[in-house]
Chain A
C-alpha cells in the first residue's frame, strides 16, 4: 500500500492493523475506532476528517501513543508499541512526536521561550544546548521578539506558533495537529497552516492534521475520511 513499505527499504512510520478502541458507555460497549488498517509513510502529509463522533480524536490519540488499542497491532517506525509500558511510550513521544492542539495548551506561567524549552527539559537536554535550540526555533518561527512574552500577552496566532515551535524543537519525525486552526481567525489560521506545511515541505516531518474544516483538510496530499470509527475514504493526489 505505502510505497516505502513495498520497497522494503525502511518500515512505514505508522502501521495500524485491525485497530479497535472500545469504550464502555453505560451498559453497552462503543467502538470509537472500529478495525482500522492504516499505514502512513515517513514524510507524508495527511489529513483525517470526519463528523463529530467519527473517532477522529480517538484515532489521533492512538497514533500519538497517548492511548492503547483495545485490539489490533500498532508498529511505530517498525517497533511494536502495543506491549510497551507507559515510560517507553513517553520516551517515543519525547523523541519522535510533536503535538499541536486546538487550544494551544501553553503553560500560562512560562514565557514563550519557557514553553518551547519544556520538551527539551523533559528530555534532559543540558541547559546550554536547550537555550541554543530554543533560540534557533524561535528565530525560525519568526517569534524571536516574543521570547519573553507569556501566553496571555500573545495573540492566538502567536500562541499557536509558539505551540508549533514547542512541537518542533525536538525535531520529531511525526507532527500531529489536532484542529490547529480551530481557535483562530482565518488570517491567523492561514499563517499557521502555511507554517505547518512549510515544516513538512522543508524539514520532511510527517504531518498529520485532524480537522473537520473541509478547506483545511483538502490541502493535504492524502485525505482520510472517518465515519463511525471506520475509514470511509482514503484519497491521495
Chain B
C-alpha cells in the first residue's frame, strides 16, 4: 500500500477550501488585491517609463544640449575671482558647427512675457527665442503658415509662431496667420501655428510663442542664451562631439571650459532609471499588502486547525502520516494564495488594459517581472505563512484531537 498521492491531496485540500467558500473567497480577495495592486502599479510605472523614453526619443537621440555653467563639483578652496560663467552667445552657438559631426544648431532663449491681441485678450506665456533650425531639430510640425524664416540669426524679424493652445486662447476660431500680437512691448506678426502636440516632456510647445532669437534678446534685454541645441550627424560619436563642444567653447572663453553638455541619451537613461526606481518602489510598497494577506492566511489557517481538530485526529487515526497532514494544510494555504494571486493577476491585467484603452497616448505595459514577482511572492507568502498552522495541525495528537467531542 502506498500513501496519499499528490492529486488526491490537491482534491482534499481543494474540497476543504470549497466547503468554506465565503472564508476562502474573502482571504483570496486579500491576496488578489495585493497582486492586482502590484501588477497595476507596475504596469502604470512601466507605461510612464516608456512614455518618458518615447518622448525623448521622438526628439531625436542625436542631440547635444549645451548649457552655461559647469554642474560638476570641484575640490579645493573657492577661487578668489568670481566663478560666474561667461555668457553663452549666438556666436558661441554657431562656432560649434566647426566640428565636423555637428550638422546643425539652434540657439535657445527662454523668457516669460504677456502676449496680447487687439481684442484686448492677454495671456502670460513662455517666449522661446530660437531660429529656423529648431523646426527640424525638435521635429516641430506647423499646421498653419510656416515656421520662423531662415536668415541671419542676429537680425530679429518681427514675426512669431504660436502654440496651438495659445492660438486658441487669443484668436479662438479665427485665422491667426497674418494677424499681429503684442509680446511685452513689441509687436510680432503671426507667421505660423504649431500642431497640437498633446502631452510633451520638457518644453510645452502648445502654450508658447516662438520668436527669432535676436528678437528675444531685445525683448528680455539679455545676451546670454539659455541653451544651445546641437544636432550630431546620425551614427557619429556623441562623446567625441561633446568633447569638441567643450574644446570650442573653452577656446572662445579664454580657456575656461564653463559649459555643461548633456546628450539626450543620458537624459533618457537617467529619466528611465528614475521612473524605473519609482515604479519598483511603488510596486514594493503595494507588495506590503501581500504580506498582510499572508498574515490573514496564517490567521484563517490557524482558526481552521482549531476548528478541524477532530478531522485532523480522524485523518491520523485512519493512517495519515504527519507529513500528509502537514502537506494538506500547507496546500490549502498555498491554494488560497495562488487562487487569489491568479484572480488578482486577471484584475490587474484588466485594469492595465482599461487604462490603456482610456488613455491611448499612455503606453501602459505590464512587465513580465511584475506578473511573475507578484504571483510568486503571493504563493511564497502563502507557503511561508502556512507553515506554522500546518505544523501545528501535523503536531496534533490524534488521541487529544479525537477526544474532544
Contacts and interface: CB of A to CB of B under 8 A. Distances in A.
Interface of A: 57, 61, 64, 66-67, 86-87, 90-95, 99, 101-103, 105, 107-110, 118-119, 121-125, 127, 166
Contacts of B310: 103, 105
Contacts of A107: 311, 314
Top 3 closest pairs, chain A to chain B, by CB: A94-B319, A124-B2, A109-B19
Contacts, number: 81
A124 B5 contact: yes
A219 to B, nearest CB: 24
A166 B310 CA distance: 16
B3 A105 contact: no
A103 B324 CA distance: 24
Contact of A122 (B313, B324, B405): B324
Given A99-B317, A107-B314, A119-B319, A94 B1 contact: yes
Contact of B399 (A61, A123, A124): A61
Contacts of A102: 405
B322 A109 contact: no
B311 A66 contact: no
B1 A123 contact: yes
A65 to B, nearest CB: 9
Contacts of B300: none
Contact of A67 (B3, B321, B399, B405): B399
Nearest to A108: B19
A107 B328 CA distance: 15
B403 interface: yes
A110 B316 CA distance: 17
Contacts of B405: 102-103
Contacts of B25: none
Nearest to B320: A122
A110 B14 CA distance: 12
Interface string B1-32: 11111001000100110110000000000000
Nearest to A58: B399
Interface in B267-298: none
Q: Which of B314, B318, B398, B403 has the most CB of A within 10 A?
A: B318
Contacts of B403: 57
Given A107-B311, A123-B319, A101 B4 contact: no
Contacts of B5: 124
Given A90-B322, A125-B2, 18 more contacts: A64-B317, A66-B398, A67-B399, A86-B321, A91-B1, A91-B319, A94-B1, A94-B318, A94-B319, A103-B405, A105-B314, A105-B402, A119-B319, A122-B3, A122-B324, A123-B2, A123-B319, A125-B1
B142 interface: no
Interface string B301-314: 00000000011011
B380 interface: no
A122 B315 contact: yes
A121 B311 contact: no
A7 B405 CA distance: 43
Contacts of B3: 122-124
A121 B4 contact: yes
A127 B3 CA distance: 13
B15 A110 contact: yes
Contacts of B18: 109
A86 B317 CA distance: 11
Nearest to A172: B319
26 contacts: A64-B317, A66-B397, A67-B399, A86-B321, A86-B322, A87-B321, A90-B319, A91-B321, A93-B317, A94-B319, A101-B402, A102-B405, A105-B310, A105-B313, A105-B317, A107-B311, A108-B19, A109-B16, A119-B318, A119-B319, A122-B4, A122-B315, A122-B319, A123-B1, A123-B2, A124-B1
A102 B19 CA distance: 24
Given A90-B319, A99-B317, A109-B16, A66 B324 contact: no
Nearest to B308: A107
B101 to A, nearest CB: 75
Interface in B318-336: 318-324
Contacts of B16: 109
A84 to B, nearest CB: 13
B384 to A, nearest CB: 25
A183 to B, nearest CB: 9
A108 B16 CA distance: 10
Contacts of A124: 1-5, 8
